[in-house]
Chains A and B, each alone.
Chain A
Amino acid sequence: MRREVSPVRVGQAALSLAILAAWEALPRLGLVPRLFVPPLSEAVGALIADRAAYAGSLPTTLGEIVVAYAIACGGGILVGQLIGAARPARRVLLPVIRAAYAVPLVVLYPVMMVWFGLGAESKIAFAAIYAFVPTVLTMAAGVAALSPGLAETARALGATRAQHILYIALPASLPSLVAALRLGGALVIVGVIVAEMLGAADGLGFLITRHRTLLNSPGVYAGIILVLGMTGAHEVLLRRLERRVAAFRAS
């Protein structure tokens, strides 16, 4: 089956191309200093020239992301489900969690390095905690929005607490689960990169910082291109998941 190319898609592609073209043209025309933003081709050139170093940094960074993702999103979705499903928990915990979220966690990163060392553990801890709270909040909001009529009907039909969660609360909250993954996943990627930039011996963030200290802008942007690639890949995976979930969705 052939799919029609929608005008929205065409617009999106045109916008992306325009951004890339501007990235290339503006520095070359001297409208943006090359130290701030080097042309796209130079960034890509740096990426290719230094590919061994960049490729070498990826296993460390991706490994940290995967572990932090599992902790933040797995734990966040579970806790969000539990909090969202119980009104007392919602009323007691949510304001506290929201308030705690306002603390800029990044100031605690040096402390985490003292606890967990310079290796992967401190990055995982930072990124997992950083993404955990928004994941919990998004999930809890989705679960709390579940129609009370559906819950009462389930009870009248004889659903146990476990059945209620499995057959009603969980499928009903699938769209917010995707939203929680989208937000949590993006924050995990940001968290890992930021943590690596602040103090690490390896990884993509570390590489970006090293190029920055050497004022090697194309090297910095080569790293940024890789980060964009990661968030892009994450988004593609989520779109796929979303399509599957859409089948479960209400009108």
Chain B
Amino acid sequence: MSKAVLSLRGISHAFAVDGVAVPALADIDVDVPDGQFVSVVGPSGCGKSTLLSLAAGLRRPSRGVVLCDGEEVTAPMPRKIGMVFQEANLLPWLSAIENVAFPLKLRGVAKPQRLQAAARMLELTGLAGFEERLPHQLSGGMKQRVAIARGLVQDPGVLLMDEPFASLDEQTRMVLGDELLRIWSETRKTVLFVTHSLHEAVYLADRVIVLSARPGRIVDDVDVSLPRPRTFAMTSSERFGALKERIWRHIRRAERP
């Protein structure tokens, strides 16, 4: 197995709510090897989004360290770690291509170069021809494609995705899932993908990490040994069902009052 690109070592995290520490995550240890697609699932409020924001360097964990390429993550590292949120969060006054190029602008890349890179990313995400559209002229799925293109434009090794398809309708979700797998197979990024959909988690990933109810601990680490490329037909296979059921048992236990 190739070496870990992203490592979470002994992570615990607590939030201060009215001066009281509320634990959100406990004793998280994960090593993600280069190029692996990992889904993170868990009951609602288990801290899976918190886990992602810790990995992104948007927060510092109360205990433990996050390592990316062996370097401690203490702040966002946009050149190494790309991020896609549940909401596309595009700048409404910038066109699609300018939104994708925005991280490069922050880094001071000259305009022709950054627009060229952004155009490539829009092509990769299937949005060639929509470069000049403003966000409000794009559908929800297209906005999320722009957000993915923006997350990839600096060619980071790691892509963190926080329920990126959660606010989309079912069909768009399925289409974008397949698109994400195609992009992933072309770019071979290491992906950490938070979702509340067990189906999506199994369908997309090489490996599914299951968290318990708050404070989130890792209760299972499931190897999804389904062949690639994944197809819709696989989702009705016995193996797919067995994997989903195994994960569901953990979640059900946690969700029970």
Q: Which residues of A contact B (CB under 8 A)?
A: 147, 149-150, 152-153, 155-160, 163, 167-168, 171-172, 247-251
Expressed in whole angstroms, the minimum distance between the Cβ of B227 and any Cβ of chain A is 34
Task: Answer whether residue B58 sits at the interface, using C-beta atoms and an 8 A cutoff.
Answer: yes
The answer, among A156, A167, A172, for a CB contact under 8 Å with B78, is A156
**What would be 24 A-B contacts, judged by CB atoms less than 8 Å apart?**
A149-B85, A149-B87, A150-B89, A150-B91, A152-B89, A153-B89, A155-B76, A156-B83, A156-B85, A157-B102, A157-B150, A158-B76, A158-B79, A158-B103, A159-B106, A167-B91, A167-B102, A168-B91, A171-B91, A172-B91, A248-B93, A250-B93, A250-B136, A251-B134
Q: Which residues of B contact A (CB under 8 A)?
A: 56, 58, 76-79, 83, 85, 87, 89, 91-93, 102-103, 105-107, 134-137, 150
Expressed in whole angstroms, the minimum distance between the Cβ of A142 and any Cβ of chain B is 14
**Given the complex of chains A and B, what is the CA–CA distance between A149 and B90 in angstroms?**
10
A157 B106 Cβ-Cβ under 8 A: yes
B106 A249 Cβ-Cβ under 8 A: no
Complex interface: chain B residues within 8 A of A249 (CB): 92-93
With most chain B CB atoms within 10 A of its CB, the pick from A155, A157, A171 is A157
With most chain B CB atoms within 10 A of its CB, the pick from A152, A167, A249 is A152
Expressed in whole angstroms, the minimum distance between the Cβ of A230 and any Cβ of chain B is 32
Which partner residue on chain A sits nearest B83 by CB separation?
A: A156
B150 A247 Cβ-Cβ under 8 A: no
Whether A158 contacts B105 in the complex (CB less than 8 A), given A152-B58, A249-B93, comes out as no
Expressed in whole angstroms, the minimum distance between the Cβ of B93 and any Cβ of chain A is 4
A158 B89 Cβ-Cβ under 8 A: no
Expressed in whole angstroms, the minimum distance between the Cβ of A219 and any Cβ of chain B is 49
The 6 A-B residue pairs whose C-beta atoms are closest, nearest first, are A251-B136, A250-B92, A158-B78, A248-B93, A153-B89, A156-B83
**Given the complex of chains A and B, what is the CA–CA distance between A235 and B231 in angstroms?**
61
The answer, among A147, A158, A250, for a CB contact under 8 Å with B106, is A158
Which partner residue on chain B sits nearest A147 by CB separation?
A: B89
Complex interface: chain B residues within 8 A of A167 (CB): 91, 102, 105-106
Complex interface: chain A residues within 8 A of B93 (CB): 171-172, 247-250
Whether A251 contacts B92 in the complex (CB less than 8 A), given A158-B76, A163-B106, comes out as yes
Complex interface: chain B residues within 8 A of A147 (CB): 89
A152 B78 Cβ-Cβ under 8 A: no
Complex interface: chain A residues within 8 A of B83 (CB): 153, 156-157
A157 B76 Cβ-Cβ under 8 A: yes
With most chain A CB atoms within 10 A of its CB, the pick from B76, B77, B136, B137 is B76
**Given the complex of chains A and B, what is the CA–CA distance between A156 and B92 in angstroms?**
18
Which partner residue on chain A sits nearest B134 by CB separation?
A: A251
- Extra 4 A-B pairs, beta carbons < 8 Å, given A156-B83, A158-B79: A156-B85, A158-B77, A250-B136, A251-B92
Which partner residue on chain A sits nearest B136 by CB separation?
A: A251
**Given the complex of chains A and B, what is the CA–CA distance between A248 and B91 in angstroms?**
10
Complex interface: chain B residues within 8 A of A158 (CB): 76-79, 103, 106-107
Whether A157 contacts B78 in the complex (CB less than 8 A), given A149-B85, A251-B136, comes out as yes
Which partner residue on chain A sits nearest B79 by CB separation?
A: A158
With most chain B CB atoms within 10 A of its CB, the pick from A149, A153, A167 is A153
Complex interface: chain B residues within 8 A of A153 (CB): 83, 85, 89
Complex interface: chain B residues within 8 A of A156 (CB): 56, 58, 76, 78, 83, 85
Complex interface: chain A residues within 8 A of B79 (CB): 158
Complex interface: chain A residues within 8 A of B89 (CB): 147, 149-150, 152-153
**Given the complex of chains A and B, what is the CA–CA distance between A250 and B92 in angstroms?**
5
Expressed in whole angstroms, the minimum distance between the Cβ of B160 and any Cβ of chain A is 8
**Given the complex of chains A and B, what is the CA–CA distance between A168 and B89 in angstroms?**
11
With most chain A CB atoms within 10 A of its CB, the pick from B77, B85, B87, B89 is B89
Expressed in whole angstroms, the minimum distance between the Cβ of B135 and any Cβ of chain A is 8
**Given the complex of chains A and B, what is the CA–CA distance between A159 and B103 in angstroms?**
8
